[in-house]
Amino acid sequence: MSVWEHGKSIRPYQLACLVCRAGSVDDCAGDDAAPCGSARVAQLAELIRDNPDMPLTLCCNVGDVCAYQDPGPAEDTAGSAEFNAKRDLDILQWLDLAPGSTLPARILIRRLLLRMETVRGVCGYDDVTAPAWEGCPKADSGDYERGRELGVEAIIPPRPEDEMVADKQQSMAALEKGGVIPIRPHIVVCSVCQYGNDVRPPFAADNLPEWLQMVLEPGCELQVELVPGADWAMCAPCPSRSQEGCCVCGKTGSGGLYNVVKDLNVLKALGLTFGTVMNAREMYRLIFERIPTTNGVCALTAIGVPEHSIWKDGCSSMTFPGPYEKGREELMDRVKDE
């Protein structure tokens, strides 16, 4: 049984080891002198490859008010206890997280790649003041930096192209059968934004342009049900849809979080709840009436956050009026009562 099946706790330095391992010129497996070659890190790499969104808890020996999560020295690497503690805490500072923080592996790895450019001065030092502070022999090898350049795909492979193509075909076939179409609220608004950006079918990354084209057909009687999550009907071919059907877009792979907020913002604006079933054209008419702009609805501009935040939303960088407002003007007459 894997040690991660129940308590998925790791040391912060092991995240850096994953990147170092990915960028290693020489196979570091079995290299006892380098943490990235340990069986523990190899197992972690395999588990994350199989389940990129497994929750990981970052624990380190810090004592004081965070002593409740101290893991003990069992996974200390070569060097003093003081070096091991400082390395972990330095990495947590780069991540801007506290000891004991739990997040999906994908978010932690992407956050590390975004924030920490090098392990020089973190896992090893130019000014070694004593043997206790010699650090990791790989710290100056360039392996971490090469791994970072390869990106998250070196640790978490992207969705296979043939899988996305097959999902596009199957989801479109299901969509064309009609009936009640499950769709998450905010991407109905996204379809208007796409239209304003002149996105038209065919479109590989999702089914929104094709869906909107169906809605615009005279006499369209399609029904929609507002549902949570990255629904199959629209999001099946998306490269940022996980095996579990979760949205993992964005710089840190936390798109599911801010997309949930967008869904709730749209529902509030429309005065609706999940589970609502209604005519698709009626849905667009209601959206155009209640949501004149996406500023503050789909663009989360009310609270400023740094680039590495899990709440950083790409739509917040848009200018207003923008493509949604343009698409709304172009589509309003096309969805009027017939």
* Residue keyed to tokens 């395999």: 46
What is the structure's pLDDT at 29? Answer: 53
Q: Which residues of 110-138 are buried (b: 16+ CB within 10 A; e: fewer)?
A: bbbbbbbeebeebbbbeeeeeeeebbbeb
Q: Give which of 281, 172, 171 is closest to 223, Cα–Cα.
A: 281
Q: Which residues are CB-contacts of 291 (< 8 A; sequence separation ≥ 6)? A: 189, 266, 269, 270, 297
Quote the Cα angle for 281-287-292, to 5°.
140
**Cα separation, 50 vs 90, whole angstroms:** 28
Please name the helix (run of DSSP H) or strand (run of DSSP E) that holds residue 57, with its range, or none.
strand 55-58
- Structure-token pair, residue 139: 């710290």
**Cα separation, 56 vs 92, whole angstroms:** 13
What is the structure's pLDDT at 26? Answer: 75
Q: How far is CA 211 from the centre of its chain?
A: 25
**Cα separation, 172 vs 209, whole angstroms:** 11
* Single pTM value for the model: 0.92
What is the structure's pLDDT at 30? Answer: 53
What is the structure's pLDDT at 16? Answer: 97
What is the structure's pLDDT at 5? Answer: 46
List the chain residues with pLDDT less than 50.
1-7
Residue 104, beta-bridge partner list: 55
What is the structure's pLDDT at 27? Answer: 64
pLDDT in tens, 76-114: 999 999 999 999 999 999 999 999 999 999 999 999 999
